[in-house]
Amino acid sequence: MRRPVVIGLTGSIGMGKSTVAAMFRRLGVPVYDADAAVRALQGPGGAALGRIEAAFPGVTGVAGLDRAKLGAAVFGAPEKLRVLEGILYPLIAETQARFRRRWRHKRLVVLDVPLLFEKGGWRTVDMTVVASAPARVQRGRVLARPGMTRDKFAGILAQQMGDAEKRARADLVVETGRGRLLTWRTVRALVRELG
């Protein structure tokens, strides 16, 4: 039996990655959501909680992880972020392997991974797809989110590979700044070709 074509989907904050992922799902393509996997590991009863508490005392409780507290501890402290990644990434790799086994009979699957290029996940996929829009569209979307500030946005951008580099590395760029219909048609054409 042929194994599925594996697409790695990524994009910077506010570029429409989640919306593109939802379009793949609507077309019947299984989508692995790396952010959701991280949240499940860190939520109430999550498999990573014990190890996170041991490394960062005081950041977990009955409700799971206090993300803001841990974020304050690790963002801006690269060596601490590496410790957190060392705890989470082997567990994430397991959940991803389970996803791949579960859908091995499919022709096409998508891995939605925010840090696909930054963390090397691109090496394990057949094709990379980057959701992208002009910077002013991205900015407008992100600053409209509740709780978002210019400083926070700048801080997040500074931590991510830039959009230009992601676009240059992508096998396919899906434009999300020129209406949903265009985005939908692009995703549908890709699924028809590969699915």
Ligand X SMILES: CC(C)(COP(=O)(O)OP(=O)(O)OC[C@H]1O[C@@H](n2cnc3c(N)ncnc32)[C@H](O)[C@@H]1O)[C@@H](O)C(=O)NCCC(=O)NCCS
Q: Which residues bind ligand X (CB under 6 A)?
A: 13, 34-35, 38, 67-68, 70-71, 74, 81, 84-85, 88, 114-115, 156, 159
183: which residues sit within 8 A by CB, 6+ positions away?
16, 19, 20, 23, 174, 175, 176
- Between residue 138 and residue 177, which ones bind ligand ATP under the rule CB under 6 A? 141, 176
- 165 to each of 16, 69, 138, 153, how far by Cα in Å? 17, 31, 16, 19
Question: 85 or 126: whose CB is closer to ligand X?
Answer: 85
CB atoms within 10 A of CB 3: 13
Asked if 178 and 11 count as a contact pair (C-beta separation under 8 A), the reply is no
186 binds, among ligand ATP, ligand X, none (CB under 5 to 8 A by kind): none
25 binds, among ligand ATP, ligand X, none (CB under 5 to 8 A by kind): none
The residue from 8, 14, 64, 121 that contacts ligand ATP (CB under 6 A) is 14
The residue from 5, 6, 19, 115 that contacts ligand ATP (CB under 6 A) is 19
Nearest to 42 by CA among 31, 55, 53, 32: 53
109 binds, among ligand ATP, ligand X, none (CB under 5 to 8 A by kind): none
Q: Is 15 annotated as ligand-binding?
A: yes
The encoded tokens of residue 69 equal 């507290």
Asked if 64 and 52 count as a contact pair (C-beta separation under 8 A), the reply is no
Main-chain phi, psi angles of 130, to 5 degrees: -115, 125
Least separation, in Å, of the C-beta of 68 and ligand X?
6
Residues binding ligand ATP: number (CB under 6 A): 15
Question: 15 or 173: whose CB is closer to ligand ATP?
Answer: 15
The encoded tokens of residue 93 equal 């790799």
Q: According to the binding rule CB under 6 A, does residue 16 interact with ligand ATP?
A: yes
Summarize the annotated binding site for ATP as residue ranges: 14-19
Interacting residues with ligand ATP (CB under 6 A): 11, 13-19, 114, 131, 141, 176, 179-180, 183
